[in-house]
Amino acid sequence: MAAIYSLYIINKSEGLIFYKDYGSKGRMDTNDSLRVASLWHSMHAISQQLSPINGCSGIELLEADTFDLHCFQSL
């Protein structure tokens, strides 16, 4: 069963507009949260531009050993 450790909401200009930490394990400070949000948004945007497939929506999932990073886009 997957657990949600944190939630980031980022606007199109890479600004972090909401952050919520749901667990005490591995809690980050505000600056680290801003860096992660900015880095993830940048990787997602660059992957859209570099994709050889027209209309690609970019990286949707990044799987690591200890966590998964998901990207959900609103309309």
Q: Is 36 within the bounds of a domain?
A: yes
Residue 26: count of CB within 10 angstroms of its CB: 10
Domain containing 46 equals 6-70
CA pair distance 68, 45, nearest whole angstrom:
18
pLDDT for position 26: 63
pLDDT for position 70: 81
Q: Is the pTM of this model over 0.75?
A: no
Q: Is 1 within the bounds of a domain?
A: no
CA pair distance 61, 59, nearest whole angstrom:
6
| Cβ neighbours of residue 7 closer than 8 Å, sequence gap 6 or more | 18, 19, 20, 22
pLDDT for position 19: 83
Q: What is the CATH number of the domain that holds 49?
A: 3.30.450.70
Mean pLDDT by 10 residues, the chain (75 residues): 76 79 72 81 85 83 82 76
Structural domain count, the chain: 1
